[in-house]
Amino acid sequence: MIVFLALLGGLVLWGITLFNQLVMLKNNSEKAWSNIDVLLKQRNDELPKLIAVCKEHMQYEQETLQRIVEARGKVQSAMSSGDMGALGAAEDQLRIGLGNLFAVVEDYPELKASDAFLQLQSRVTMLEDSIADRREFYNDSATINNTRIEQFPDLVIAKAFSFKHFRLMTFSPLEKQDVDITSHFQTAK
């Protein structure tokens, strides 16, 4: 009887430890997403300022600016809905749009010399780099969580307590292709 109680007690302790580890992994994944969310909001707050400064100097690049505005809206919508697939696609559109904008800026010396533009460009670039770093950290956290809740014996506890998978933030093959920015330099001026 003592042996049975000791085994039962050991099994309960093991289950509690396993449950606590899974909770920690879930919380780490959620924290990693929250860190991305904060950076996305900061970047989205900076983009209207950047666009406003660019509009003052760029008369012929309204299409480039409009693409950034549309991509920013898609990012906000995907963030609100929590749709990782849509967020990844919207992030890619925004990243490409910003890359195109920064390339086109070369044709506007007065804009390149603007302190406001340079500060905003630096801030947005820093935020983009931080988002990329946090995205990698989120994917690592989500992968560890997903692996653990699929492995036996963890999956028994995970199913019993409805632990969920976290979707990875990924790029589609089309979004990984090189960007052709030459078309942006062929606009009539």
Q: How far apart are the first and last CA of the chain?
A: 90
pLDDT for the residue numbered 59: 67
Task: Tell me how far apart the alpha carbons of residues 16 and 56 are, in angstroms, rounded to a whole number.
Answer: 61
Q: Shortest CA distance to 65 belongs to which of 113, 105, 30?
A: 105
Helices (runs of H) and strands (runs of E) counted in the chain: 6, 0
More confident residue, 99 or 173: 99
- Please check whether residue 5 lies inside any domain of the structure: no
Residue 100 belongs to domain spanning:
29-135
> What CATH number does residue 106 fall under?
1.20.1440.20
144-159: average pLDDT: 93
- Please check whether residue 145 lies inside any domain of the structure: no
- Please check whether residue 80 lies inside any domain of the structure: yes
pLDDT at 90 over 50: yes
Task: Tell me how far apart the alpha carbons of residues 184 and 60 are, in angstroms, rounded to a whole number.
Answer: 10
More confident residue, 54 or 154: 154
Neighbours of 135 (CB within 10 A): 22
Q: Which helix (H) or strand (E) holds 11?
A: helix 2-57
Residues 6+ apart with CB under 8 A from 43: 124, 127, 128, 131
pLDDT for the residue numbered 68: 86
61-68: average pLDDT: 80
Burial environment of residue 72 by CB neighbours within 10 A (0 to 12, 13 to 18, 19 or more) = buried
- Residues 92 and 74 sit within 8 Å (Cβ to Cβ): no
pLDDT for the residue numbered 172: 58
- Please check whether residue 34 lies inside any domain of the structure: yes
pTM of the model: 0.69
Domain count, the chain: 1
105-133: average pLDDT: 84
